[in-house]
Chains A and B, each alone.
Chain A
Amino acid sequence: MKMELIQPFINAADAVLAQGLQSPMSIGNLSMEQEAYRRKGVAALVAITGDIEGRIVFDLDPQTAVRVASHFAGGEVPESDDLVRETVCELANQVTGNAVTALNDQGFHFRVHPPVLHTSELGPTSSEDTEALVICCETDRGSVFMNIALRYSVELSGERAAAAGE
């Protein structure tokens, strides 16, 4: 997976989390994942189609999700509250939307689909084209994991190969 696709997501996560949580965010571990995705806690998946295809999973362990949701709600939110899951979905939506906006400025065109709660323990196995990059965003409320699996669409891959004379 190309870093040119990843950097906008890092920038967007920084902007959304730092503004929302009103504290700095830092990037922790980055790792490639080729095994099936294993959910850590409360996770939201946003699918992207267009010139670049794939999905982003935004994943917080349950305690972190409660702390983040409580911060946004301005008061304690119980773990069972739907607002916890809603918060994770909306953060995923905002980070993806901001990243896609930046990628659009580079000439890529997309459709962003509404976030859905990712409830299964295991996700799809990454393929060679869509191996996932897992980015750990450290915040003062805990770690926020972004699992990003994107690839150029078939049409765009062909155009890029032709342009490169392959």
Chain B
Amino acid sequence: MEQFASLKRSKDGQPVRYLVVDDSVFARKNLARIVETFGGQVAGEAGDGMTAITEYDRTNPDIVLMDITMPQMEGIEAAEKIVAQHPEARIVMVSSVGYQENIVAALQRGARHFVQKPVKPEVLYEVIKYVLGEDGAVANAAGAGA
């Protein structure tokens, strides 16, 4: 798998910590492998929206990668509940269903961005950089954590 220049947290140069939420173990493993090529670290995983909320509280991640179609509680509702409690939460929706009303609903309820499956690593990398903004730094370019 392609390697990318490491994305680090600007404040301490540590790896960006991710919470990966998807009801598919396959999808979670795939996303974990991708974020590791960005120099990231998986802080937690969840298979449904309810668990995502408790895992967010437990792990306090820098980025949440959130599927939409999941049992018990869908991703958009979970994103809304997380953002209600943690307005600073950076949630990127990752779903195979990429039609506009889904995207708009996710953004209106607190998600920061949307990536359609199958995930192209280079697309996700740019989205993560964008969502992190000044709180993220490319290690080689900025020297943070290098």
Contact = CB atoms under 8 A, between A and B. Distances in A.
Contact of A82 (B25, B97, B117): B25
B24 interface: yes
B69 A114 contact: yes
B69 A101 contact: no
Contacts of A83: 25-26, 29
Nearest to A88: B26
Tell me if A's interface is mostly helix, strand, loop or mixed: helix
B80 interface: no
A86 B25 contact: yes
A133 to B, nearest CB: 21
A16 B118 contact: yes
B45 interface: no
Given A16-B118, A94-B118, A101 B97 contact: yes
A93 B28 CA distance: 14
B118 A20 contact: yes
A146 B121 CA distance: 27
Nearest to A87: B26
Contacts, number: 65
A101 B99 contact: yes
A90 interface: yes
Contacts of B100: 104
B30 interface: yes
- Pick from B95, B96, B100, B120 the residue with the most CB of A within 10 Å: B96
B116 interface: yes
Interface of A: 15-16, 19-20, 69, 72-74, 82-83, 86-87, 89-90, 93-98, 100-101, 104-105, 109, 112-115
7 contacts: A19-B118, A69-B26, A93-B24, A97-B69, A98-B116, A109-B101, A114-B71
